[in-house]
Structure 1
């Protein structure tokens, strides 16, 4: 028991190394590659190969994620598992040593290592497990968007920023009143941002950013209001936001 406690403390502070070939004396499968969609459940497979004996020894199942210094999941016998807070309520043991992750997230993507450690003295050098790479595909979502209504002065410039996240990385394009905008001195697009220079009354209207990938799309629209000679393009509405006269001017 003392030996197990000492070993348990040692593995808690062990650092997970990058994927590497297994040396002599160990049994490892070839790395696996698994793909899941955000929000779905996924199983990372890990086999337990017992020594040829009538009474298989007790063992500890550990799952590491590359880049995280301590195991994200540890299970021994009938004791409750130790689960990293990032996986709490989502990670459970499947079969003997496989890891089930529910509600997969984009940040779950990466390399995972399974280790199955036999605890009895005579099986000290008996190790098995596997490496698994998890890819989590996610539809585009916006992490930053301009306001729904934006009021600017005639002759000024404005930058509308749409920042999108997803896997694979989405492409952001801009439309004005449903027509795609190309890069011109008037309209400059850079990494999801649209800059409009020398704004005139003719520039008022609806601007839409669209983030697309093979996983789907996300759309956000902003209505640009233009002030000229101290008078708003929507008379009586001088504060950016929603108001009856602004809505009437759409």
Structure 2
């Protein structure tokens, strides 16, 4: 029987090894805040408040916390460990305020964002007599909660006298202010109602005075078209990245259905949900393109539907438009430090240096503040400082620190090329050369005395030389040359190119009868400094040729031998070197 075969697929695997030398450099650096609390921090008064502040820098920074602009006084109750401020038994009268961490070392001061700390608390309902509500059946009604305030805002819900938590429906629901809305009352609504304010953090709940509801059946209200009892303002501001909630509730009989639609554009389907039986619309992760006009409609087939349109304006707390970086510049140079923040309304930008407001007029004549920029002219070493940029609008404040280092450092090579770099013929190789200096050194490479650039050669920003399509002619000595206006340095490294592994004798198709032996021959050329390994695959899976019971084996010349072939042996076999 003749068994067909298709052309073999050859897979070539080449390896290259690189020897990398490393050197530990101990740099001095100003502080930089790496960990800080959230901008709004609510603490349970039963738990210690912990404001964590972590900064990196060399020398190791020391820390100072300020509250409302003044140093926090450390006591037995208020302590600090490694930058973390701990307040035991926090109390709103003593500890509420705006806190900020200052991290200092010899090279400057870094500031955290301002943190508003509020100690959790819960007010009480105003005492009053039981409120009696006599309501004609089928009429609409509203019970006003007047819930106490709290930090954080309490969760509001209604219950009955049993006690039993009230189950909301499309007929009986709660508005965002906590009031209970009846589109129309039925006889079974006769009961005693309570408004509850739950402070989950504190584990406390306040219960309102009772609301008695008596549904009168003698003079039932007639069927009527919807009239909105609750709706959003005409103009609503939504914040970028947050969730927008809008709700409409109506008085009507029969009970109306409520729906929402976008008038200027469709509601964003993938981010929109409709809880509370469709009476509410939630738009998650608000984006600027969500700005527009929206409308709720309440209808029950009696008369005209009730409609309410809302204009949504999307604004944003300040956020950074770029990643601000530290800068090192040479003496007597001109430089502009820029702070880019976005937000709606546009953020106001203010500058500080080492945590202190830059005076106006500035006592440093080489420095000029202009909006979101600081211009330095003929900069000198004593202009080296940590500068803070603060961006603020009605929705919040953010702060970032940037270190300006006015420094004259001759170009130096801190990570010289490895003594030996190995590459494989036709591959790509990277020869590393780490440099430092101020101004930033220019790095060039030469090979056997000739500068190399362009074409197959590319020098990266970090000084690394990339060589594409490496050949044997690329073997030799490479020189990394770093220089700036204050000095230069040269280091060398050797590149050795190994011959790539290639299949020399390709296996050919075999046609055999069942129960006969089949043999595929394969040989490869390779670099003499490497050890050659040849193995075989069947349909992409490596064959086990060293098992005594297997019909697959390899001989001394790496040929694949299949003993006593069977129909199931019909397949593709691949030689891999």
Structure-2-length-normalised TM-score: 0.27
Q: 1:139 aligns with which of 292, 304, 317?
A: 317
C-alpha displacement of 1:37 = 4.8
The separation in 1 between residues aligned to 2:315 and 2:259, in whole angstroms, is: 31
C-alpha displacement of 1:91 = 1.0
Q: Tell me whether 1:100 sits opposite 2:282 in the alignment.
A: yes
Match of 1:16 in 2: none
Q: Tell me whether 1:221 sits opposite 2:221 in the alignment.
A: no
The separation in 2 between residues aligned to 1:208 and 1:94, in whole angstroms, is: 44
Give the number of the structure whose residues are more often helix, by fraction.
Answer: 1
Q: Tell me whether 1:112 sits opposite 2:311 in the alignment.
A: no
Q: Which structure is richer in relative contact order (CA contacts within 8 A, separation 6 or more)? A: 1
| Pairing 1:90-239 to 2, within 5 Å after superposition | 90-95=271-276, 96-105=278-287, 107=288, 110-114=291-295, 116=297, 128-135=306-313, 138-148=316-326, 150-181=327-358, 182=360, 184=362, 186-228=366-408, 231=410, 237-238=436-437, 239=440
Alignment check: 8 A CA contact 2:354 2:386 kept = yes
Q: 2:235 aligns with which of 9, 33, 37?
A: 33
The separation in 2 between residues aligned to 1:221 and 1:41, in whole angstroms, is: 30
115 and 219 in structure 1: CA distance in 2 versus 1, 3 angstrom threshold: closer
CA deviations on 1:176-207 (whole Å, 9 max, x unpaired) are: 22222245553333331222122111111212
CA deviations on 1:109-142 (whole Å, 9 max, x unpaired) are: 6442226599x9xx9xx66532213355643221
The separation in 2 between residues aligned to 1:192 and 1:200, in whole angstroms, is: 22
Aligned residues: 188
Structure 1, gaps ≥5 residues long = 1-26, 74-82, 241-250
The separation in 1 between residues aligned to 2:258 and 2:247, in whole angstroms, is: 17
Q: 1:62 aligns with which of 261, 267, 275?
A: 261
Helix, strand or coil at the partner of 1:133: strand
Helix, strand or coil at the partner of 1:99: strand
The separation in 2 between residues aligned to 1:195 and 1:40, in whole angstroms, is: 36
Match of 1:79 in 2: none
Alignment check: 8 A CA contact 2:258 2:296 kept = no
Structure 2, gaps ≥5 residues long = 1-226, 412-434, 442-577
Structure-1-length-normalised TM-score: 0.56
Q: Tell me whether 1:71 sits opposite 2:249 in the alignment.
A: no
The separation in 1 between residues aligned to 2:402 and 2:245, in whole angstroms, is: 41
Alignment check: 8 A CA contact 1:48 1:129 kept = no
